[in-house]
Chains A and B, each alone.
Chain A
Amino acid sequence: MEKVIVITSGKGGVGKTTTTANIGTGLALLGKSVVLVDTDIGLRNLDVVMGLENRIVYDLVDVVEETCKLKQALIRDKRYDGLYLLPAAQTRNKMAVSPEQIKELISQLECEFEYVIIDCPAGIERGFKNAVAGAKSAIVVTVPEVSSVRDADRIIGLLSANGIDDVQLLINRIRPDLVKRGDMLAIEDTLEILGIDLIGVVPEDETIFRASNLGEPAVTDKSSRAGEAYMNVTRRILGEDVPLMKLDTQTGFVSRLKNLFQAK
């Protein structure tokens, strides 16, 4: 993975913003300097899930229109060293900036930070074009469900047409019990259709709701399985070879006790 990564999917609601927040926080926890860029102008969410909504003074559009300097718009997350957010505007729309302007902005950010993570909006029109301008690699987020996979396939094709070939897949919200019953696409089925490398699999996890509502990404919650999976994804971005988490359905007390006493 390169240092400028766009998190995209095509389909809406599959977890791009959650992934951006968790990967960004994960990288900061591992000592890297990171800036998260929200390009979903008009429907901004990254600030909310990061718990930084009330600290927004200037945004991406202000920077592009030169109403303020880039530094003034960047919000430093006081909880995690090295983590910054460049929020989107809420009262404008995606025509307010152009891909060329975003490309210029991203190249400035590249000089200041070790990692630039770009949260892309759903769709394939202007929002997508803005988000991928300047990105060097991509993580495509999909849930194991046919419409999402169809859209992911389209997005992978469009990323390639935009010159981004370093693309990896993140399968989100997987339910191992449903996969076992044959009601949900298995990891192998999804990979067979999409044909790109897998950067990680994140299980469906209730802790995500609490995390979003509190503005504290799940990666900081030791009890969150999704958080653990996101931390593994972060490690893989840094080049570590982390095996896929074991995703089984046993969460009962007895099986947890059994796991405690099993030799590793």
Chain B
Amino acid sequence: MQTIVAIKGVDDKLEVYFNEMASYPSLREDLIQKLQRNKNFFLNSDAKVVISGRNLSQAQRREIKRIFEMDYGISNVYYADEIKKMTETAVMYQAAPEAEPPQIPTGELELVSREYFDAKSIFIATTVRSGQRIECEGDIVVLGDVNPGAEIIAGGSIAVFGTLRGLAHAGAGGREDVCVAALYMKPKQLRLSGRVVMPEENRKDAAVGEIAQLVEGKVVFRPINRK
């Protein structure tokens, strides 16, 4: 079986190679397993980690960095293509990997309830509790409440079929054609494309079903059924 993740020690660096043919979820799982198996070696080491191989999105890169940092105390993690410009050598055309259905991870990662998804959009059919973070490059729909201390981070838009009390960030990657909608809009903090607002608590005129959007640089709240 082809190696999915290869880890090699070179001088004072750890070179990590992500197989270009592998899907992101399998890369992540293999990395976690390899790190876990050699936990004592990796834990809190001062090693500098350089990652090369399959091109990852910004969100994926951040997630990998987080795994190194949170679980092993390694904060010197770099991506090879960020360190120096790619030098063109021979051109090789590789077939696109088969699209795999988004895999929902199970096991000990879930203890901290951080749900990493490699999907275009996420549909959560329950309430999101304090400490849970849902992150996705696309849109996120929650059937239930988002409690204070919970974080919904979407590259696209967010819709909450319930009470939004926690943090929601739509357009987290910079997109501005996004919105945050909720039946009961009571967030502690709302973020739209990087702009932070702290809406008034206990608004008297709040309708059931509100949508927040960026209009000319300002965050505007309006009832859903009003244009």
List chain A positions with a Cβ less than 8 A from chain B.
129, 150-151, 153-154, 156-158, 160-162, 193, 195
Closest to B114 in A: A161
Counting CB contacts under 8 A, is B110 at the interface?
yes
Given contacts A157-B131, A157-B132, whether A150 and B113 have CB atoms under 8 Å apart is: no
Q: What are the residues of chain B within 8 A of A153 when measuring CB–CB?
A: 129-131, 147-149
Separation of A158 and B129 alpha carbons in the complex (Å): 9
9 shortest interchain CB distances as A-B pairs: A157-B129, A153-B130, A154-B131, A154-B130, A161-B110, A153-B147, A161-B113, A153-B129, A157-B113
Contact B149 A150, beta carbon cutoff 8 Å:
yes
| Interchain Cβ contacts under 8 Å between A and B, 30 examples | A129-B111, A150-B130, A150-B148, A151-B130, A153-B130, A153-B131, A153-B147, A153-B148, A153-B149, A154-B129, A154-B131, A154-B149, A157-B113, A157-B129, A157-B130, A157-B131, A157-B132, A158-B111, A158-B113, A158-B131, A160-B129, A161-B110, A161-B111, A161-B113, A162-B111, A193-B145, A193-B148, A193-B165, A195-B127, A195-B145
A193 contacts which of B110, B113, B131, B147 (Cβ < 8 Å)? B147
Q: Tell me the chain B residues, 88-136 only, with Cβ under 8 Å from chain A.
A: 110-111, 113, 127, 129-132
Q: What count of chain B residues pass the 8 Å CB interface test?
A: 13
Separation of A160 and B130 alpha carbons in the complex (Å): 12
Separation of A156 and B148 alpha carbons in the complex (Å): 13
Separation of A154 and B147 alpha carbons in the complex (Å): 9
Most chain A CB within 10 A, of B111, B113, B127, B130, is at B130
Number of A-B pairs, beta carbon distance below 8 Å: 35
A153-B130, A156-B129, A157-B129 known, 18 other contacts, Cβ within 8 Å: A150-B149, A151-B130, A153-B129, A153-B131, A153-B147, A153-B148, A154-B129, A157-B113, A157-B130, A158-B131, A160-B129, A161-B111, A161-B113, A162-B111, A193-B145, A193-B165, A195-B127, A195-B145
Main SS class of interface, A: helix
Q: What are the residues of chain B within 8 A of A150 when measuring CB–CB?
A: 130, 148-149
